[in-house]
Structure 1
Amino acid sequence: MRAVIVAAGPVEDIPSLTPFIEENTVVIAVDGGVATLVQQGLAFDLAIGDFDSLGYTPEGAVIHPAEKDETDLELALRHVSEQYEVTDVLIFGATGGRLDMTLQNVYLLKQFPAARLVTKREEVRFLQEGHDQIKADQYHYLSFIPLVPTRLTLRGVKYPLTDHDVPVGGSLTVSNEWTDHQLADVTVHTGEVIVLRSLSDVELPPPTLR
């Protein structure tokens, strides 16, 4: 089951949401994300937040106080993880505004590893120790940002690595690319990374995810 969560980030960073909403997808509006969904003519199953950025409270919303210890997005992610059996969570409207909020939203992926952030140009996910395969789809660049000192093996990419130590703050694993097979084999031997799939600098259609 998929969950689509729409937060209150700038609308210019949010693609058309219709291609991401499959059968049995639950759609959650987070505060000002209500306006984005309304603008795109889409319904939502639930609204969550303090609604300070929306200006009104939708009917049936889960209301939280403005002064609290978690962001509205974190509360929405927690609600989804507790109330639904989801295997895929796509988050929109979580980047492009205040830098502190964007960074925090990226770090939320560590707490909710089934979730991915999606913009018009990028998809962001969290990987911990283990093996994964990452498709290129329509993306061009593949980057790995270690959150802690990490050891990686990368195959199916232009710049492969074998059991290689990658420090925090280094740029070795930024802007890699897929080879002709369009499928990267990634092993995180130790550590944890943020993974970004990005479009090229050439203008391309908005992303769709498989």
Structure 2
Amino acid sequence: MATIINLLVGGPTANYPADLTAIPGDWVGADRGALRLVKRGIQPVMVVGDFDSIDEAELQTVKQALAGTIIVKPDQDHTDTQLAVKSIFEQLNPTAVHIYGATGGRLDHLLANLWLVLDPVFRQWAPQIKLIDKQNSVQFFLPGEYEIQKEADKKYLAFVPMMPMHLTLSDEKYQLKAAHNDYPISWASNEFSGDTGHFSFDAGVLAVIQSKDDQVSD
């Protein structure tokens, strides 16, 4: 049976999906993400971080609501998100980890979150990791042939080779045949031709993004 662990990290709340409490599955909080879970009435099964972004009183609030383990980051060699992802896979053994709060705000944090799967330590888990915000979902793939399902609320589809590869898009609106890249590139603004799409590639790590426009007034 599939086991999904949701991880909330410290990105801007404006990028969250509408209601975190409606998302099924257990939750883990990384640093300030742990406090934000507790304030929404969500009891985390694990919290991770050096907790330098919350004060002592807030940390005590988190500890009182905690249903499981607290892991204090021992050094600055890893980000809170990296330590949380590693701890989740090693201790909770989920089928998938869905990460929220990983986009928006500081660009250095965004890049660290996107590039996490390139680290050999984390690459083994790349196909199980998904980044989600109110406009986007990002999945990661290792070399092979794949079929993906269109998300009902998303219009756009992007393929982002993060390392050198030959990429084939066989039945999307805009197709490729063994297109080679030497550096990261975003094949953006593609679309599904139906409810599924097929693609294949031979090396590296590929990010696939489903997205929609932000509904904001001018």
Identical-pair percentage: 31
In 2, the alpha carbon distance for the partners of 1:6 and 1:97 equals: 15
In structure 2, which of residues 141, 158, 164 is the aligned counterpart of residue 143 of structure 1? 158
Partner residue, 1:62: 71
> 1:117: how far off?
0.8
What per-residue deviation string (whole Å, max 9, x for no partner) do you get for residues 18-71 of structure 1? 3432xxx33101110023213332221111111111223332522224x42101
Regions of 4+ moved over 4 Å = none
Contact 2:165 / 2:203 at 8 angstroms: preserved in 1? yes
**Runs (5+) with no aligned partner, structure 2:** 64-68
Cα distance, 1:125 vs structure 2: 1.9
For residue 201 of structure 1, report the CA deviation from its aligned partner. Answer: 4.9
For each residue in 1:167-198, what CA deviation from the matched residue of structure 2 results, as whole angstroms up to 9, or x when unmatched? 42545x2110011x221111112332222111
TM-score by length of 1: 0.85
Q: Distance in 2 between matches of 1:185 and 1:176?
A: 13
1:174 aligns with 2:176: no
1:191 paired to 2:204: yes
2:53 match: secondary structure: coil
1:105 pairs, out of 97, 113, 120, with 113
Is 1:92 paired with 2:100?
yes
Greater per-residue helix proportion: 2
Give the aligned CA root-mean-square deviation in angstroms: 1.9
Paired position in structure 2 for 1:126: 140
Unaligned runs of 5+ in 1: 204-210
The alignment's TM-score, normalised by the length of structure 2, stands at 0.82
Give runs of aligned pairs for residues 146-157 of structure 1, distance below 5 A: 146-157=161-172
